[in-house]
Amino acid sequence: MIGAAVAALLLALPGRMPPLSQASPYSASKNQITSFDDNPPFKGVVVLKDLGCPDLHRNRIRRHFLDDSGELLTPLSQYVVPTITASTSTENILKHIVNRLAYLDAPVDAKEVAESIEFYLRSGKRAIGAARRVLKNSDVTEDQSMVVKDLCSGHGLTGMLFAACNPPGRLKASMRVLLVDQSEPQSHLILRDLISEVCPWVNQDTVQFFEADLDDYVTKSLSDDATDEASIIISTHACGSLTDDVIRYAVESRAASVSVMPCCYTGTAKGTPYGVQRMFGVSASADIKRSFLLHDAGYHVDFAAIPKAITPMNRLIVAERRC
């Protein structure tokens, strides 16, 4: 019964998550730390100071790279647009993208850039790995492709980083990105074009913006004929029950993977026992409930986190479909 399973999990929860079983095909590599850190250090090239209030980092990315005199730490005259190849490291790709956004004063906050980078670095490898397993087990042997669906995407930076960090030739399959939100922000095209100057494969052919309410998009998508693409579903800070809608869509569409970073938890823990909510709080109770929904639907589920200096709503649910 799910109640007994939840109870067993909760007894192991205080402080740190239990390590993954080494017998699992999804387990961490040997000697890799597998305990859960709810406030990990930064992995990416944009490191924010913990100022006690993440909103203090809502300054344009250019301002983040200015010194005390108001000059860029590296003068624009010294910057050269790099040549990115399939062998270029993810770290260097992200560094060049951030440099471009900063030098040309892109309309995006340092907080949002750090958030998108940290989300990708903590979910991208597993998400893409799940999609590759799905394609490997499919009947399609040529022209394989995967699609990243960034739902409630805002300007779409997170989804575009998935494409940017995987140049043509790095994956055996091609990758396209679909961004979905109620309206396309003016900043989207500016960000896409700036990223394209560094990563030319991120363009209007590989990145599309679909303007729609999430319900309308889900209805249309599920009614369309199935494709041979392996889908990667992501969503950062889809408000409240929208995260649950994203998860349900991923399950119903048999997505290869789904990675979400929820927020606005009011009412989302409904259905979990009162004692669970009282002991662990509404947010953890809601995410535990979500993890069991995914688990029961055939997904391997794990938690991750980004640094709290970016946002206190920093927990990720990362799920990979078992093939």
Q: At what angle do helices 110-136 and 90-103 cross, to 10 degrees?
A: 140
Distance CA 32, CA 24 (A): 14
Whole-model pTM over 0.85: yes
The residue among 196, 214, 223 whose CA lies nearest residue 151 is 214
How much is the mean pLDDT over the chain?
Answer: 87
Type of residue found at 287? D
Of 298, 292, 299, the residue nearest 273 (C-alpha): 292
H helices within the chain, ranges in order? 2-11, 61-64, 90-103, 110-136, 157-164, 186-198, 214-223, 242-252, 274-296
Q: Taking 70 as the threshold, does the pLDDT of residue 22 lie above it?
A: no
pLDDT tens, residue by residue, 97-132: 998 999 889 999 999 999 999 999 999 999 999 999
- pLDDT (tens digit per residue) in 270-322: 999 999 999 999 999 999 999 999 999 999 999 999 999 999 999 999 999 99
Assigned token pair, 216? 């309308």
Question: pLDDT (tens digit, 9 = 90+) per residue, 170-211?
Answer: 998 999 999 999 999 999 999 999 999 999 999 999 999 999
* HSE-CB for 80 with a 13 A CA cutoff: 3
